[in-house]
């Protein structure tokens, strides 16, 4: 939080005084995120132009699709394209602006991947304040899978970036749903929710946490909790309208080739799954490989989950649902590739960060046992282990 609140007990009115945060904290909250952003940009530019076949067949196909778009051909009707439209649409402007090369295509992906950083910031800020915001950004910057996919022409990182921003905006809106920025956060969540899905259908899992937060707010309004009223419905309505309007605006240019788009984006994958269904037995091994490679983050996420449950921080429930639904869709995905697991990175980081806030909220309850000091030390240790293993 950017302010400290002090209640004057001697005041007959019980007036609350809001004091601004120290200047150094304000500077810190600007300098550190900007420094992390600069580091993230450098990490993505490093070795970005290495020889072709950076990620095998798929990257080459998407590169050729971008080149075909540059030659005036249209998606779905003239170009076979097995993803929703916004993945290539969001990459193409940078691709065309910087010369239509392989490097420029990867640079477009790298820039879109940076959208995940403000998503991590908003999520961390909502769950655990300043420290949570910085920690979430740091974890995302150093995550090996997220960084690797940020340098490849693949749809997964674009979808994950928009999805993280959508859920992060929804959580920050929830912290102050009727505040001055609530409407803007609601609109941002709705827009980026659609864009994440329109980059890759796996992004549909982000509907789960956003939807649960909206339903929880509706429940509060329905039961007429203090401070709620009909005005409280506006952010919910705006989120839904922004989501639907964005979805329709992106798809509108392709309505003339709707059947071809449906065939490429949906039928192609369902047919592939039916043909390769026997390969699902390999999903266990791929999942084990992912869990082993991200074990510190998984442990930190588990710790955050337990800490949140310990102090009855119900905000963890949408995150758990998000992670479980994503894990289930990955389980039934055929064929399943390691890069698909990038969809789990945002919920795992969110679960790890919520542990920091949960420790603070449980401090009074466990004060006599000195548990907060132990839990805080464990949380910091887990974060340091993750950072060390990612470097």
How many whole angstroms separate alpha carbon 337 and alpha carbon 341? 8
How far is Cα 287 from Cα 154, in angstroms, rounded to an integer? Answer: 20
Mean pLDDT value across the chain: 87
Report the 10 Å Cβ neighbour count for 28: 14
Other beta carbons within 10 Å of 388 = 10
Q: How far is CA 147 from the centre of its chain?
A: 14
Instruction: Count the Cβ atoms, other than its own, within 10 Å of residue 235.
Output: 25
Predicted local confidence at residue 373, as pLDDT:
52
Lowest-confidence segment of 21-30, 44-53, 189-198, 295-304 by average pLDDT: 21-30
- For residues 22-39, average pLDDT: 85
Share of the chain above pLDDT 70, in %: 84
Report the distance separating Cα 31 and Cα 37, nearest Å: 10
- Give φ, ψ of 231 to 5 degrees: -65, -25
Q: How many CB atoms lie within 10 A of CB 389?
A: 14
Percent above pLDDT 90 for the chain = 72
Supply φ then ψ for residue 294, to 5 degrees.
-115, 30
Residues 139/36, Cβ–Cβ less than 8 Å: no
In a domain, residue 13? The reply is no
Say what the pLDDT of residue 252 is. 95
DSSP string computed for 123-168: HHHHHHHHHHHHHHHHHHHH-HHHHHHTTSS-SHHHHHHHHHHHHH
In a domain, 49, yes or no: yes
Is the distance from CB of 196 to CB of 203 less than 8 angstroms? yes
| Domain contains 236 | yes
pLDDT digits (tens, 9 = 90+) for 69-127: 999 999 999 999 999 999 999 999 999 999 999 999 999 999 999 999 999 999 999 99
| Domain annotation covers residue 71 | yes
Instruction: Tell whether 8 is covered by a domain.
Output: no
d(C-alpha 42, C-alpha 138), whole Å: 14
Residue 260 C-alpha from the chain's centroid: 30
Q: Look at the chain and report how many structural domains it folds into.
A: 1
Pick 227 or 205 by higher pLDDT: 205
Contact call for residues 308 and 358 (beta carbons, < 8 A) = yes
Ranges assigned E (strand) in 193-287:
none
Per the confidence metrics, is the pTM higher than 0.85?
Answer: yes
Digit-coded pLDDT (tens) for 264-283 = 999 999 999 999 999 899 99
Helix %, strand %, coil % of the chain (to 5) = 75, 5, 20
At 10, the pLDDT band (50, 70, 90 cuts) reads very low
**134 part of a folded domain:** yes
Residue 266 lies in a domain: yes
User: Could you tell me if residue 5 is inside a domain?
Assistant: no
Return all residues near 267 (Cβ < 8 A) that are at least 6 apart. Answer: none
Task: Check pLDDT > 90 for residue 55.
Answer: no
Of these ranges, 97-101, 124-128, 192-196, 369-373, the one predicted with the greatest mean pLDDT is: 192-196
Domain range for residue 315? 25-390
- Distance, CA of 219 to CA of 48 (rounded, Å): 48
DSSP structure string for 298-326: HHHHHHHHHHHHHTT-TTHHHHHHHHHHH
């Amino acid at each position: 939080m950017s302010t400290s609140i002090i209640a004057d007990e001697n005041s007959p009115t019980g007036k609350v005084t809001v004091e601004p945060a120290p200047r150094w904290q304000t500077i810190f909250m600007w300098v550190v995120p900007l420094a992390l952003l600069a580091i993230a940009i450098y990490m993505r530019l490093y070795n970005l132009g290495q020889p072709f076949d950076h990620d095998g067949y798929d990257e080459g196909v998407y590169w050729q699709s971008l080149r075909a778009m540059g030659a005036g051909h249209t998606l779905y009707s003239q170009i076979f394209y097995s993803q929703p439209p916004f993945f290539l649409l969001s990459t193409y402007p940078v691709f065309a602006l910087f010369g239509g090369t392989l490097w420029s295509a990867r640079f477009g992906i790298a820039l879109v991947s940076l959208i995940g950083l403000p998503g991590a910031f908003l999520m961390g800020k909502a769950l655990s304040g300043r420290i949570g915001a910085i920690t979430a950004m740091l974890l995302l910057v150093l995550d090996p899978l997220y960084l690797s996919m940020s340098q490849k022409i693949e749809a997964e990182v674009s979808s994950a970036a928009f999805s993280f921003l959508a859920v992060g905006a929804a959580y920050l809106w929830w912290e102050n749903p009727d505040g001055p920025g609530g409407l803007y956060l609601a609109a941002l969540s709705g827009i980026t929710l659609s864009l994440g899905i329109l980059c890759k259908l796996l992004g549909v899992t982000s509907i789960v946490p956003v939807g649960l937060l909206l339903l929880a707010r509706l429940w509060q309004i329905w039961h007429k909790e203090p401070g709620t009223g009909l005005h409280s419905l506006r952010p919910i309505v705006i989120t839904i309208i922004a989501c639907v309007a964005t979805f329709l605006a992106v798809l509108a240019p392709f309505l003339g080739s709707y059947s071809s788009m449906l065939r490429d984006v949906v039928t192609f994958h369902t047919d592939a799954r039916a043909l390769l269904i026997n390969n699902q037995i390999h999903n266990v091994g791929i999942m084990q490989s992912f869990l082993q490679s991200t074990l510190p983050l998984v442990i930190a996420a588990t710790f955050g989950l337990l800490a949140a449950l310990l102090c009855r921080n119900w905000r963890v429930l949408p995150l758990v649902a998000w992670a479980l639904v994503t894990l289930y869709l990955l389980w039934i995905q055929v064929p399943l590739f390691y890069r698909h697991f990038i969809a789990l990175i945002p919920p795992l980081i969110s679960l790890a960060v919520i542990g920091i806030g949960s420790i603070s909220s449980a401090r009074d309850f466990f004060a006599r046992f000195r548990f907060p000091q132990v839990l805080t030390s464990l949380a910091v240790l887990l974060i340091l282990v993750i950072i060390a293993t990612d470097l």
